[in-house]
């Protein structure tokens, strides 16, 4: 966590979750981009439900993707219930797929995603903030914000698990993925929050399975789970705030409100 000149605190958050080709992740992504979009640009007009994943070579080497497998989502300020100002910067760790070969693009040293997503020191000179799919190729027509100093030091991770039913992606594949990923994330000693996504279409059995899995003793039962829906804008801010409080070692923590309760009190 960095201190800003104005005394505020800045939290650099990395959003991770099952990624790759359709064979790896099933027919749909787990919701990383939508969660980031809703958090950094919450207004209905700025929220897009479809984001980039399969790309042309020229888009991959454009300034937004910049030959990396992560997106810089920009910076946002939030004021907590007790009036403390929080600044967040957000990146999404994903895997971009070539639209001609349908294989992940080769860029830099290509570790498998489960390993690469735990990287805490990201670099990408002059990388532009991602806003939406249509921005690619016509970057000048959108706000052009560059990743500061071409660097991003991660303070904590949101590890996403989709609890909706997605064709060609059994829940076991995600549990296997988070088992490996959480081990790698925990080695970094940075705080982690597990975020279930798409709770507006949740399969109750999946929700219970994720809870059981995370509360196993190998994760020491101390990884918080926040139930979200980006489409319905439920608990999205809460996931980031809970992680910021862990990074900041805040004494009084915000209560984690279950999805149904948070949905009703919108």
- Binding segment for Mg ion (CB under 5 A), chosen from 38-46, 91-99, 144-152, 186-194, is 91-99
Local structure of 185: helix, strand or coil: helix
Q: First vs last Cα of the chain: how many Å apart? A: 30
Q: Which of 32, 69, 169, 198 binds Mg ion (CB under 5 A)?
A: 32
Q: Is 153 in contact with 11 (CB distance < 8 Å)?
A: no
Compute the Cα dihedral for 180, 183, 187, 191 and give only its sign. Answer: positive
Binding of residue 99 to ligand GTP (CB under 6 A): no
Binding of residue 49 to ligand GTP (CB under 6 A): yes
Residue 195 and residue 75: Cα distance in Å, rounded?
Answer: 20
Smallest gap from residue 201 Cβ to ligand GTP (A): 4
Q: Which residues contact 40 (CB under 8 A, 6 or more apart)?
A: 73, 74, 75, 76, 88, 90
Q: Which residues contact 65 (CB under 8 A, 6 or more apart)?
A: 52, 55, 59, 71, 96, 136
Smallest gap from residue 82 Cβ to ligand GTP (A): 28
> Between 54 and 79, whose beta carbon lies closer to ligand GTP?
54
Residue 45, Cβ density class (10 Å: 0-12 exposed, 13-18 middle, ≥19 buried): exposed
Q: Is 177 in contact with 19 (CB distance < 8 Å)?
A: no
Q: Which of 33, 196, 229, 245 binds Mg ion (CB under 5 A)?
A: 33
Smallest gap from residue 227 Cβ to ligand GTP (A): 11
Select the binding partner of residue 197 from Mg ion, ligand GTP, none (C-beta < 5 to 8 A, by kind).
ligand GTP
Q: Which of 22, 98, 200, 209 binds ligand GTP (CB under 6 A)?
A: 200
Binding of residue 33 to ligand GTP (CB under 6 A): yes
Q: Which of 99, 111, 143, 201 binds ligand GTP (CB under 6 A)?
A: 201
* Interacting positions 79-98 with ligand GTP (CB under 6 A): 94
Instruction: Count CA within 13 A, CB hemisphere, residue 213.
Output: 21
Q: Which of 55, 182, 225, 230 binds ligand GTP (CB under 6 A)?
A: 230
Residue 171 and residue 174: Cα distance in Å, rounded?
Answer: 5
H or E element, residue 71: strand 70-79
Residue sitting closest to Mg ion (CB): 33
Q: What are the beta bridge partners of residue 79?
A: 85
Select the binding partner of residue 49 from Mg ion, ligand GTP, none (C-beta < 5 to 8 A, by kind).
ligand GTP
User: DSSP character for 42?
Assistant: -
* Interacting positions 92-121 with Mg ion (CB under 5 A): 94
Smallest gap from residue 27 Cβ to ligand GTP (A): 9
The residues of the shown chain that bind Mg ion, judged by CB under 5 A, are 32-33, 51, 94
For ligand GTP, the binding residues (CB under 6 A) are: 17, 19, 25, 28-34, 49-51, 53, 94, 197-198, 200-201, 229-231
């Amino acid at each position: 966590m960095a201190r800003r000149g104005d005394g505020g605190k800045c939290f650099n958050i990395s959003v991770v979750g099952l990624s790759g080709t359709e064979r790896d992740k099933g027919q749909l992504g787990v919701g990383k981009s939508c969660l980031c979009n809703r958090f950094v640009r919450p207004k209905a007009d700025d929220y897009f439900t479809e984001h980039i994943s399969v790309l042309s070579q020229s888009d991959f080497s454009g300034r937004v993707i910049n030959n990396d497998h992560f997106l810089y989502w920009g910076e946002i300020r939030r004021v907590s219930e007790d009036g403390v100002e929080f600044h967040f910067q957000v990146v999404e760790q994903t895997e971009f797929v070539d639209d001609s070969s349908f294989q992940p693009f080769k860029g830099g040293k290509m570790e498998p995603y489960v390993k690469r997503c735990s990287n805490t020191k990201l670099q990408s000179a002059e990388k532009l903030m991602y806003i939406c799919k249509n921005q690619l190729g016509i970057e000048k027509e959108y706000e052009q914000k560059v990743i500061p100093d071409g660097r991003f030091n991660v303070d904590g991770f949101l590890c996403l698990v989709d609890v909706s039913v997605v064709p060609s992606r059994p829940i076991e594949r995600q549990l296997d993925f988070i088992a490996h990923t959480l081990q790698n994330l925990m080695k970094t000693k940075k705080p982690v929050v597990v975020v279930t996504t798409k709770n507006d279409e949740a399969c109750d059995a999946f929700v219970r399975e994720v809870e059981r899995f995370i509360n196993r003793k190998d994760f020491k039962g101390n990884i918080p789970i926040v139930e979200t829906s980006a489409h319905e804008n439920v608990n999205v801010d809460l996931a980031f705030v809970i992680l910021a409080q862990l990074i900041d070692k805040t004494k009084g923590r915000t209560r984690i409100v279950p999805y149904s309760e948070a949905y009703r009190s919108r």
